[in-house]
Structure 1
Amino acid sequence: MKPTEFVKVNSQFWGEHLKEAAGHLPVSHRTELPGPMLLPRMMVLTETPDWNILELVGLSREYRTLEVRRQKAATVEEYFGIGDGRTVVANLKGQNWFKDATITTEAGKSALEKRFPGTGNMLGNEVVGPADELLRFGPGNYSTFDRALLVHTAGDSLRAHWVFFALAIHRSEPADKYLDFLRNYSNASPHLDPIGTVSLPVDPAVLKADAFESTYLAHGLQDSTVDEFLDKHESILLSAFDATKLIRQPALGDLHPDFILERADGSHVVGRLELPVVDTVNGKKRRRVFRTSVQDSATELAQYAEYLGNAENRSQVKSKYDVDVSDLRQLVIVPSQGTVTPAAGVEVVDYDTILRIHLAATA
């Protein structure tokens, strides 16, 4: 199937499927759903030399025609995973389905439980292995990830990514068979739980915040400043990281991280946003541009950690911001629809995953 055919089939199927589900279930089966129905906001279609990849990203309170983003990746492993060691799920051949599942390394599972307590409500079926790489694809046709949490580790780096719905299909598969697969998979799903949606037992008021409208990190953020982003998303960051306090853009000498979170257990997270928000330098505005590498942010985070590793500096920070920094973690928040490479000692989490962890903690 050519990439143009892949785009056409997905646009046709998902447009019809999601519009019908959104127009029917919240009306006729509203009282039978666990809670508000959430739908994707964007369709990312990725082409590799051997595979076509679909991923639905973002969370929306209502149906809107999916925006389409097309991109290329060198390999399917590059898109889904990091690291090049042994695999948790190796040689994905034929047809594979992962639904309401967590796929992770043993190190990733341990880190997840410690760093994101809210994930306890969303782990689902667990596929855990003593490995450095999550997935390695073999000859086959389909691999489907339906509400799956992928937690990658590479050395001391960590990447958490919640997949709303993703599917990798070998490019040798004809378009008509792919469309048949989507229809059969959809028909096999429970009527009250159609593919590409999620219903959560959360207070609908939680979903009315402005922050919820920016979940797929495109519209509305380009003209936001870092402070405006943190103002809108403070409650989400606090609950996702089990934190009690957010310090916005603290001054660490000449260094200026985007935020520091103080967690309930007394540990801290220093963070950097790799999002299309406006940064201000010497009175002039500039936009941040995410180019799939977190290395620049990792370098800055290492400087923050070195600064806070000094007892005198920590004392000054405590006096100024009333926060006694200890057991520091380094975090980069990235756009939800991008692929990333690891950076030593850095956690990489996209905003959709943070939002999903927040909703799990709220449920």
Structure 2
Amino acid sequence: MKPTEFVKVNGQFWGEHLKGVAGHLPVSHRTELPGPMLFPRMMVLTETPDWNILELVGLSREYRTLEVRRQKAASVEEYFGLGQGSAVMTLPGENLFKDATIATTAGRQALNERFPRSANLIGEEFVGPGEELLEFAPGNYATFDRALLVHTAGDSLRAHWVFFAVAIHRSEPADKYLEFLSTYSNARPHLDPIGTLSLPVDPSVLKADAFESTYLAHGLQDGGVDEFLDKHESILLSAFDATKLVRRPALGDLHPDFILERADGSHIVGRLELPLVDTVNGKKRRRVFRTPVQDSAAELAQYAEYLKSADNRAEVRSKYDVDVTDPRQLLIVPSQQTLTPAAGVEIVDYDTILRLHLS
């Protein structure tokens, strides 16, 4: 199937499917659902030399026509994995992961230690040693239906909650792929259609400003760091089991976007990889990242180095009432971005943070 055919088939199927669900279930079966129904906001279509990949990202309170983003990746392993070396799982033929967690051994341990709310998302577990998460063998489909992927490469970690994704070998014809989507959709319970999520949460939670833009790099082009933190403070605190958010602290001449103080007394120093606008002397200034993860990782390493000094820590404690020792280094990225490892850095996208919050 050519990439143009892949775009056409997905546009046809998901437009009809999600529009039909939105016009029926939240109305006719509202009282039978666990809670409010959420829909994806963007369809990301990725082309590799041998595979086509569909991923639905974002969480929206209502169905809206999906935005479409097309991109390329060097390999299907690069898209779903992190690092090089042995893989946790090899995927021959057809594979389905539904309400599941796929993680390296180190990644699974990190979930317990760093993301306590993830206990509500684990589901069926696929865990093993390795630095690459998945190795795709010749075959047709690999489907990830509400799956949590936790990659590690050395001391780098990447956590990504997948709403719905399919990797299909490019040898598969378009009509067979459309038949696969239809068959899989028809096999699902009527009250749990593919590409949707219904959660037992208070609907008022979903009316917060955060749900105006539920994945990074969308609708934030004219926002700034302070505006982002205003809208998402409660979500950041919840997802990272934190009790305090320090905004834009000054570490000498360095300025991380935030510091989180967790309930256990540990700390996270964070940076946002966003197309944000900072206002300086009344003028707007955009951030520019030539190599986003590496640039941000270098900044985070400087923050951690600064906080190794007892005198510097004392100054931070005096100014912000936080005693920061050996902080975790966190980079928040767009949900649809393909990433490379960054030593010592935790990389988490906003869809995953939001899903942890809603758990």
Which bin holds the TM-score, normalised by the shorter protein?
Answer: over 0.9
Once the two structures are TM-superposed, the CA of residue 48 in structure 1 deviates from its matched residue by 0.6
The alignment partner of 2:255 has SS state of: coil
Aligned positions of 1:62-73 closer than 5 A: 62-73=62-73
How many percent of aligned residue pairs carry the same amino acid?
A: 83
What one-letter code is carried by the residue in structure 1 that aligns with 2:165?
A
Corresponding pairs, count: 359
Question: 1:330 maps to what in 2?
Answer: 329
Question: 2:269 maps to what in 1?
Answer: 270
What one-letter code is carried by the residue in structure 1 that aligns with 2:22?
A
Distance between the aligned counterparts of 2:68 and 2:284, measured in 1?
Answer: 29
Once the two structures are TM-superposed, the CA of residue 293 in structure 1 deviates from its matched residue by 3.8
Once the two structures are TM-superposed, the CA of residue 277 in structure 1 deviates from its matched residue by 1.2
CA distance change for structure 1 residues 158 and 249 in 2, over 3 Å: closer, same or farther?
Answer: same
CA contact (8 A) 2:217 2:274 kept: no
Distance between the aligned counterparts of 2:154 and 2:251, measured in 1?
Answer: 28
CA contact (8 A) 2:156 2:346 kept: yes
Once the two structures are TM-superposed, the CA of residue 131 in structure 1 deviates from its matched residue by 1.4
Higher deviation after alignment, 291-300 or 239-248: 291-300
In the TM superposition, what whole-angstrom CA distance separates every residue of 1:201-230 from its partner, at most 9, and x where no partner exists? 111111001111211234431111101100
Once the two structures are TM-superposed, the CA of residue 289 in structure 1 deviates from its matched residue by 4.5
In the TM superposition, what whole-angstrom CA distance separates every residue of 1:167-222 from its partner, at most 9, and x where no partner exists? 00011100000000000000011110000001111111110011112112344311
Once the two structures are TM-superposed, the CA of residue 130 in structure 1 deviates from its matched residue by 1.4
Once the two structures are TM-superposed, the CA of residue 23 in structure 1 deviates from its matched residue by 1.1
Aligned positions of 1:180-259 closer than 5 A: 180-259=179-258
Higher deviation after alignment, 115-124 or 216-225: 216-225
In the TM superposition, what whole-angstrom CA distance separates every residue of 1:5-45 from its partner, at most 9, and x where no partner exists? 00000000000000111111111111111111001000000
Question: 1:128 maps to what in 2?
Answer: 127
CA contact (8 A) 1:88 1:128 kept: yes
In the TM superposition, what whole-angstrom CA distance separates every residue of 1:45-84 from its partner, at most 9, and x where no partner exists? 0001100000000000000000000011110111111111
- Alignment pair present for 1:89 and 2:126: no
The alignment partner of 1:221 has SS state of: coil
Higher deviation after alignment, 281-290 or 138-147: 281-290
Distance between the aligned counterparts of 2:342 and 2:217, measured in 1?
Answer: 24
Distance between the aligned counterparts of 2:43 and 2:289, measured in 1?
Answer: 19
Question: 1:53 maps to what in 2?
Answer: 53
Once the two structures are TM-superposed, the CA of residue 327 in structure 1 deviates from its matched residue by 3.7
Question: 2:304 maps to what in 1?
Answer: 305
CA contact (8 A) 1:215 1:352 kept: yes
- Alignment pair present for 1:76 and 2:76: yes
Distance between the aligned counterparts of 1:18 and 1:256, measured in 2?
Answer: 43
The alignment partner of 1:162 has SS state of: strand
What one-letter code is carried by the residue in structure 1 that aligns with 2:304?
A
In the TM superposition, what whole-angstrom CA distance separates every residue of 1:296-349 from its partner, at most 9, and x where no partner exists? 111111110011111111111111111111241000000111111110000000
CA contact (8 A) 2:273 2:292 kept: no
Once the two structures are TM-superposed, the CA of residue 4 in structure 1 deviates from its matched residue by 0.6
TM-score when normalising by structure 1: 0.97
What one-letter code is carried by the residue in structure 2 that aligns with 1:30?
R
Question: 1:3 maps to what in 2?
Answer: 3
> Which 5+ residue runs of structure 1 have no aligned equivalent?
none
Question: 2:42 maps to what in 1?
Answer: 42
CA distance change for structure 1 residues 177 and 292 in 2, over 3 Å: closer, same or farther?
Answer: farther
Higher deviation after alignment, 318-327 or 213-222: 213-222
Once the two structures are TM-superposed, the CA of residue 283 in structure 1 deviates from its matched residue by 5.1
CA contact (8 A) 1:48 1:73 kept: yes
CA contact (8 A) 1:292 1:338 kept: no
- Alignment pair present for 1:29 and 2:15: no
CA contact (8 A) 2:98 2:145 kept: yes
Q: Aligned Cα RMSD in Å?
A: 1.1
Once the two structures are TM-superposed, the CA of residue 276 in structure 1 deviates from its matched residue by 1.5
Distance between the aligned counterparts of 2:321 and 2:219, measured in 1?
Answer: 32
Once the two structures are TM-superposed, the CA of residue 290 in structure 1 deviates from its matched residue by 5.5
TM-score when normalising by structure 2: 0.98
CA contact (8 A) 1:266 1:326 kept: no
> Which 5+ residue runs of structure 2 have no aligned equivalent?
none
